[in-house]
Chain A
Amino acid sequence: MTWAALVHVVISGLATGSIYALMAISLVIIYNATRTLNFAQGEMLMVSTFVGWTALQVLDVPLVGALLVAVVASALLGFVLERVVIRHAISATHFDVLIITLGLSLMLRSAAGVAWTHDEFPFPSFFGNRPLVVGPVRVAPVSLGIIGASLALMLALGALFRWTRLGRAMRAVAQNQRAARLMGISVERVYSSSWVIASVVGAVAGVLIAPVIFLSSKMGLVAINGFTAAVLGGFGSMPGAVLGGMLLGVLENLAPLYLPASIKHSVPFLTMITILIVRPGGVLGRVARRKV
């Protein structure tokens, strides 16, 4: 295998990895606020991408308009779901909330199937198809575009967490909810904003990935790789989520070159089991010590 082909594989791996990273980030945002895993994250991404696609078809808006529609729809969906369903289980165990989000994911997927059928639809891309040729290396513009857009979004999120009042409040709640409340932070508002921000990140990831994997009610399954990415990097850590996503994307693209091709679908799961057994806190994470 030539190094040029290797570069190509790694770059497309980084592109899928960016999407996994975005999924992982949105899972981690919700986890940090409410300490629950949102099983419905992938389905929320799928529904908002479908809404954007409908705007594209029915209203004939440009692609940027579709992205905006998808983002607004997902923000609304995240807000409503948190407010109507999750908030009622605020004092419940992880297990309970996990089951609730699981129920949500089943409902959303089924509802999407009823509204848009279970077929696959092509989705237009922001980026062209003609490969960029740099010397012997050929790179798909889609890959570069996805990487660039994801990095931009990650930087924006980083800035939000670091420098805004809301970001500080979210970090405080992640560290210690009671202390944050005593400092006058509205924990409920942080819950709400976390769901909204996570949904928006999901919608952007959905619009970016839909041209590559097609738009379908099944595309929410990409969230499973997001889980793996988040676990890989240490659940709860943002830089870990990014690193985990990129690592997983590259691994998944490299594995079929050296191992039997049928292994590709098992890569995320085998990686996850291995990481959990060898280093349960993830590559960057620490295992939290609990005080009694």
Chain B
Amino acid sequence: MRHAALATGAAVVVGWPWAAPRYFVFLASLIAINAIVAIGLNLLSGYTNQLSFGHAGFLAIGAYAAAILTIRAPALPVPAALLLAGLVTAAVGLALGVPCLRLEGLYLAMATLAFGFVVVEAILNLDWLTRGNDGLRVPAARLGPWTLATDTARYYLVVTVAALLIVAAVNITRTRTGRALLAIRESEIAAQASGINLAAYKTLAFVVSAFYTGVAGGLFALVVGFLSPDSFDVFLSVDFVAMIIVGGLGSILGSVVGAALITTLNDSLAGFQNYRPLIFGAILIASMLFMPGGIARALGTIVRPARAAAPPEPPRQGEDR
């Protein structure tokens, strides 16, 4: 059953460019990119309970890093550029994560929100590097003898990277590290009492999350081909949060499903700019009120009602505070 589902999924993903029109290939690439960000954000927010409203900032850093690398060093193969973009973003994540250790909940949300704004302002002001408001055109990426010039070629690149990162994330969550992160989410004090190094694991979550988002940013630069600061505003961060809320906090599969849903929704509402946030807000509220745990838990209870299939609930905050 499980293997069959996986095989069908893989077949659909591989066969997609032959079955779908060109635009939908591009859309599928965007979904895969957003899924990487959603997984990264979920490792931080869903697993470790550290809210972030600044992931558009990380995405921007990864995107600009990859774009500038591709422009300055055209011979650099794509995997190296993506890896470097991820590492640069992870370094920024480390720089942000360490001071943020002192913050929790609300304060962390505000600090990351501010971080997102500062990144956009920085891009605007560093115009010798980023060309500011004029935007940056990203040349086609090179992989050995090939140039990734078509939507299909870029789609396969994105999907391969996404698959690797998904497998990595699933493995992370099943190891000692993943259990430590979950323990921190359930109760920081209990986790600490069990010998979990809070500071180290929280910083690790920040760094890994930033790395994922940075790699996704690099892919975003290659797929979209043009970067400007206004594509990374705070509403993009909200979109990412919406993906993991709707998909399910603390679920890798949920992140992917949430990314697919929100990206498709955004795309189909593109013609109704005025109503988009209205529908979006309604979905956020409804999923919080009626489907806490997201699609992942809702599916879990339908498919396997008897067993505790879904990830454990995030701690509820009762009367005592």
> Which residues of A pack against B, CB within 8 Å?
35, 37, 85, 88-89, 91-96, 98-100, 102-111, 113-114, 177-178, 181, 224, 227-228, 231, 235, 260, 262, 265-266, 268-270, 272-273, 276-277, 280, 290, 292
Known: A91-B316, A110-B276, A272-B110. A266 touches B118 (CB 8 A): yes
User: Is B227 positioned at the interface, with any CB of A under 8 Å from its CB?
Assistant: no
Known: A91-B317, A110-B275, A265-B121. A99 touches B281 (CB 8 A): no
User: Is B12 positioned at the interface, with any CB of A under 8 Å from its CB?
Assistant: no
Known: A35-B321, A110-B278. A273 touches B107 (CB 8 A): no
Contact of A262 among B125, B241, B275 (CB under 8 A): B125
For B49, list chain A residues within 8 Å (CB). Answer: 95
User: Is B232 positioned at the interface, with any CB of A under 8 Å from its CB?
Assistant: no
- B194 CB to nearest chain A CB (Å): 13
For B16, list chain A residues within 8 Å (CB). Answer: none
Closest CB pairs A-B (n = 5): A103-B284, A106-B281, A107-B281, A269-B114, A110-B277
Contact in complex: A266, B117 (CB < 8 Å): yes
User: Is B144 positioned at the interface, with any CB of A under 8 Å from its CB?
Assistant: no
Contact in complex: A280, B241 (CB < 8 Å): no
User: Is B245 positioned at the interface, with any CB of A under 8 Å from its CB?
Assistant: yes
Chain A's closest residue to B282 (CB) is: A107
Contact in complex: B114, A273 (CB < 8 Å): yes
Contact of B284 among A95, A106, A114 (CB under 8 A): A106
Contact in complex: A269, B117 (CB < 8 Å): yes
Return the CB mask of B87-115 against A: 1 if under 8 Å, else 0: 00000000000010011011101110111
Contact in complex: A270, B118 (CB < 8 Å): yes
* A92 to B290 CA separation, bound complex (whole angstroms): 12
* B interface: dominant SS: helix
Contact in complex: A100, B117 (CB < 8 Å): no
Residue contacts A-B, CB under 8 angstroms, 26 given: A91-B316, A94-B317, A95-B105, A95-B314, A99-B245, A99-B284, A102-B284, A103-B281, A103-B288, A105-B281, A107-B277, A107-B282, A108-B281, A110-B274, A113-B274, A235-B107, A262-B121, A262-B124, A265-B121, A266-B117, A270-B114, A272-B110, A276-B103, A276-B111, A277-B99, A290-B189
**A99-B288, A277-B99 known; 7 other A-B pairs, CB under 8 Å?**
A85-B289, A89-B288, A103-B280, A107-B278, A110-B277, A276-B99, A276-B102
Contact in complex: A272, B111 (CB < 8 Å): yes
Chain A's closest residue to B49 (CB) is: A95
| A-facing residues in B51-81 (Cβ within 8 Å) | 51
For A280, list chain B residues within 8 Å (CB). Answer: 102-103, 107
* A89 to B124 CA separation, bound complex (whole angstroms): 40
- A256 CB to nearest chain B CB (Å): 14
Contact in complex: A100, B285 (CB < 8 Å): yes
For B292, list chain A residues within 8 Å (CB). Answer: 92, 96
For A290, list chain B residues within 8 Å (CB). Answer: 189
For B124, list chain A residues within 8 Å (CB). Answer: 262
Known: A88-B289, A262-B125. A273 touches B281 (CB 8 A): no
Contact in complex: A106, B277 (CB < 8 Å): yes
